[in-house]
Structure 1
Amino acid sequence: MAAPVTDAGEFESWLNDRLDSLEVDREVYGAYILGVLQEDETDEEKGDTLQGILSAFLDEDSLDNVCGEIIRQWTERSARSTSKSDVDVEVQAIASMIEKQAQIVVKQKEVSEESKKRKEALLAQYANITDNEDEAEEEETAGGACVPSGEKSLFKNTNVEEVLNRKKQQRDQARDDSQKKKEQDKMQREKEKLSKQERKDKEKKRTQKGERKR
């Protein structure tokens, strides 16, 4: 598993210092050890290879410790490199997601603008049709006479006022008719009542005359 160049450089610097402390020629063995560590092998296999390289310079007890230390340093730096790479990948993924979301928002905004424009166009078209209908009604009301545009609003107001007046007159007329009908009905009931009373009185008088004759 190869490490990034920067991390390999950091490890190589540490390794060279360690080899110098062990009085091992860094120029000869440093690159060799680094190449072994970069191979796709297990730590145990790497340890065996390192022991074979350094056995000529170290005793058996020191050999195990030094090889273990070299492998630990390499593993730690590789882990930091992997973690850093993962963070970079995650940051890149987040940035990509934010960019996509921004594109979606812009697209939605464009769609909203288009929808707004279509709505405004429809409203303008409807307003134009309504104005044309109003103008036609005004021309019919005026008996075909052309009304100047400056007088249209006044003409409309006059028409509205006339309509309201007619409605008011109709309501007043209906109220008057209703009142007259009530009075007529009342008078009719009074007449019927008087007529009925007169018939009763006449009947009573005839009855009294008949009794006196007997």
Structure 2
Amino acid sequence: MAASMADAGEFEKWLNDRLDSLEVDQEVYGAYILGILQEEESYEEKEDALLGILSAFLEDEKLEDVCKEIISQWAESCARHCMNYLLNFLSLSVLAIANLIEKQAQIVVKQKEVSQESRKRKEAKEAVLAQYANITDDEEYPFFLDVNTEAEEEEQAFPPSGDKSLFKNTNVEEVLSRKKQQRDQAKEDSHKKKETDKMQREKDKLARQDRKDKEKKRTQKGERKR
């Protein structure tokens, strides 16, 4: 079937020139011989058909050589066509594979960029949450802000010296006791403030409800007067 797919343009030109050299009418027999070469499957079938056509124009000793020459030239034309077809197919296959590899590489790069962007957003979110948590802790437990002050006062109670026995234990106890009182006072103040705020909210709520009730009664009185 390779012969039926061959590009007969180049071969047809050669065949017409060869028939002219043999003084065979190429306009009549050129297309006929080309059709036989394309349709017949085996070498023997092609040769028998050509012998039947050209026997009217050629002598026996020359006839067989011309038929073999035509069939050989046709086979070379088919081989060139198949080779060109194969090369084109391979070229397209290589191009398709290259495009596939390029697309895959782009997908990998894009996934990497998305992953990096997600990681950056996650880190930024964690940083904001950590900062918010620190602010909240400072607002709810302000006594922790005095840590440095405590350290300084304790350092005063224990000044650097090679002989710690010179300082009385009473100074240490006083400092620790004073700091404990400050922390307890800070906790108590914070608790009182929360209770005060809660009571104030309740008062505000009752006041709003009282205003609504008065407004409702005033509206009802106005409707009865009508």
Instruction: Please give the range of the TM-score, normalised by the shorter of the 2 chains.
Output: 0.5 to 0.7
The residue type paired with residue 22 of structure 2 is L
The residue type paired with residue 78 of structure 1 is C
The separation in 1 between residues aligned to 2:152 and 2:141, in whole angstroms, is 16
CA pair 143-176 structure 1, distance change in 2 beyond 3 A:
same
Q: Does 1:3 align with 2:5?
A: yes
- Of 67-76 and 101-110, deviating more is 101-110
The two structures have a TM-score, normalised by structure 2, of 0.62
Paired position in structure 1 for 2:220: none
The separation in 2 between residues aligned to 1:88 and 1:120, in whole angstroms, is 48
CA pair 69-143 structure 1, distance change in 2 beyond 3 A:
same
Structure 1 residue 69, shift from structure 2 partner: 0.5
The residue type paired with residue 135 of structure 1 is I
Deviant stretches of 4+, over 3 Å: 137-144, 161-178
- Of 79-88 and 89-98, deviating more is 89-98
Paired position in structure 2 for 1:67: 67
The separation in 2 between residues aligned to 1:111 and 1:53, in whole angstroms, is 70
Q: Which runs of 5+ in 1 are unaligned?
A: 145-154, 181-214
Paired position in structure 1 for 2:50: 50
CA pair 164-9 structure 1, distance change in 2 beyond 3 A:
farther
What is the number of residues matched between the two proteins? 165
The residue type paired with residue 51 of structure 1 is L
CA pair 25-174 structure 1, distance change in 2 beyond 3 A:
farther
> Quick check: which has more Rg, 1 or 2?
1
The separation in 1 between residues aligned to 2:48 and 2:61, in whole angstroms, is 14
Structure 1 residue 3, shift from structure 2 partner: 3.1
Paired position in structure 2 for 1:199: none
CA pair 77-163 structure 1, distance change in 2 beyond 3 A:
farther
The separation in 1 between residues aligned to 2:101 and 2:52, in whole angstroms, is 56
CA pair 84-113 structure 1, distance change in 2 beyond 3 A:
same
Paired position in structure 2 for 1:105: 105
Structure 1 residue 175, shift from structure 2 partner: 7.2
CA pair 168-143 structure 1, distance change in 2 beyond 3 A:
closer
Q: Does the 8 Å CA contact 2:158/2:164 hold for their aligned counterparts?
A: no
Q: Does 1:82 align with 2:82?
A: yes
CA pair 165-38 structure 1, distance change in 2 beyond 3 A:
farther
Q: CA RMSD in A?
A: 3.3
CA pair 55-177 structure 1, distance change in 2 beyond 3 A:
farther
The separation in 1 between residues aligned to 2:60 and 2:74, in whole angstroms, is 22
CA pair 57-141 structure 1, distance change in 2 beyond 3 A:
same
Paired position in structure 2 for 1:123: 123
Q: Which runs of 5+ in 2 are unaligned?
A: 168-226
Residue aligned with 2:5, SS: coil
Structure 1 residue 134, shift from structure 2 partner: 2.2
The C-alpha deviation readout for 1:20-72, integer Å capped at 9, x for no partner, is: 00000001100000000001411121011101110011111111110000011
Q: Does the 8 Å CA contact 2:40/2:46 hold for their aligned counterparts?
A: no
The two structures have a TM-score, normalised by structure 1, of 0.66
The residue type paired with residue 95 of structure 1 is L
The residue type paired with residue 119 of structure 1 is R
Paired position in structure 1 for 2:22: 22
Percent sequence identity over aligned pairs: 39
Paired position in structure 2 for 1:187: none
CA pair 62-142 structure 1, distance change in 2 beyond 3 A:
same
CA pair 174-19 structure 1, distance change in 2 beyond 3 A:
farther
